[in-house]
Structure 1
């Protein structure tokens, strides 16, 4: 079967592009361009990243960038990979301990650069950095007796959890300093708004939660305790799956 050709952006991220032997020596490289784009995103958000603004950052004509990156969409894909830190070191940790650290670190780097949250919807992991995150999490589960497909599904689920939690935290942090015009500025306000429209006949359990001020109470522990609570639910489910594998999965609770 013929080998699938690498998409140009993937070839660029992995250094697999053919290097021309003739012609003038390039004055730029992809790394400098991506670093400049990340600086702009950190300063101005993703809306500030344009081919023209990146060209201005590295002091070249806009058209010069297309020698190194095919389009803005390609640039965003490379940015998403380059902006991520290295994953936590595995270093022999039990799988549950490592995946706790891994998921927390994933959430934290998304919170540090919220513009990555928008990119994540359009950029499946294909670069060296993103795939190291995937590889380390799969390695943590290697001794559990779970199959490759199961482990991949687990990592995908934890990635989604980290992303959703980062999005929620970012939204709440943004709302905390929101306008003074009566707009919703946190979970407590959200609960007060819902209490005015939720019909107890149609939404009996939600109405009961609102009467008990569940949203206001949750606001007091929405940060780390909320994150840990949800993560523990996921890890408990993974633990049960590992335990069902029998002896090959190890002793439950040991990792």
Structure 2
């Protein structure tokens, strides 16, 4: 087990000798997250985190052995608690779960660069997986199906967050301006003979009207398609058990 993962779970053997450590993994990751939120991932360096904490760079290596370890710990520490299922029906819960997943990624856009590169290993991120697996098992699906569905919904949240973030454009533009600029660019360059399907979609406002984009129509439409597939699978499992 990587040392940083053991620390994330509180499983690192305690040392009895030497002075009491002046830092903790939580303090290191909190400082790194503050930098990433303010400056983006490019601002996160072992030296910049050390400077923020007022310690030497070398002192950080007692908690994270590399920047890759630091990113792994940051990705877990930045995750909030997932929605709790309670007695919610599976579809209502997974809708809230996927939306909340997308929203916390948008709250920390640097996670969009880290999440695809770091498999879930920490207690906070794995709690999200646990909740979705619990709900899917309750709906009658087996463990393998639950893992695949959870991974698909998580990937959809990452994709939707990435698109929403990119469509915002520069900080002084709105999401609406980003969408308008994108469709205007496509309309200018797309030839109807070379791209008949795309050209027809642009003429028919297939990328959404402004009101629909602001109201999250595209995200909901895609999520409903995925959950329709889950619903069909659950129904099929029910028939197989009869």
- 1:30 equivalenced with 2:25 (yes/no): yes
Counterpart position of 1:53? 48
Please state how far the C-alpha of 1:187 moved relative to its aligned partner. 2.6
Q: Deviations over 1:207-229 (max 9, x none)?
A: 112222333x4433124222111
3-state SS of paired residue (1:81): helix
Q: Confirm whether residue 226 of structure 1 aligns to residue 221 of structure 2.
A: no
Q: Which residue in 1 is equivalent to 2:107? A: 112
Matched residue SS, 2:38:
helix
- What residue in structure 2 maps to residue 205 of structure 1? 197
CA distance in 1, matches of 2:241, 2:90: 11
Q: Distance in 1 between matches of 2:98 and 2:143?
A: 19
Aligned in 2, Cα 1:249/1:159: closer, same or farther, shift over 3 Å? farther
Q: Pairwise mapping of residues 88-127 of structure 1 onto structure 2 (< 5 A)?
A: 88-127=83-122
Unaligned runs of 5+ in 1: 1-5, 179-184, 251-255
Distance 2:232 2:117 in 1: 33
**Pairs within 5 Å for 1:1-255:** 6-175=1-170, 177=172, 186-215=178-207, 217-223=208-214, 224-246=216-238
8 A Cα contact 1:88 1:102, kept in partner: yes
Deviates more, 1:47-56 or 1:192-201: 192-201
How many angstroms does 1:199 deviate by?
2.6
8 Å contact 1:186–1:219 — kept in the other structure? no
1:86 match: secondary structure: coil
Pick which of 241-250 and 80-89 moved more: 241-250
Match of 2:213, SS?
A: coil
Superposed displacement of residue 176, structure 1:
7.3
How much does 1:25 deviate? Answer: 1.4
Q: How far has the Cα of 1:161 moved from its partner?
A: 0.8
Distance 1:249 1:166, change over 3 A: farther
Q: 1:67–1:172: structure 2 CA closer, same or farther, 3 Å change rule?
A: same
Quote the offset at 1:72 in angstroms.
1.1
Once residues 194 and 39 of structure 1 are traced to their aligned partners in structure 2, the CA distance between those partners, rounded to angstroms, is 37
Q: 5+ unaligned residues in a row in structure 2: which ranges? A: none
How much does 1:90 deviate? Answer: 1.1
Q: Secondary structure at the match of 1:220?
A: helix
Q: Distance in 2 between matches of 1:175 and 1:37?
A: 24
- 1:242 deviates by 0.4
Partner of 1:181: none
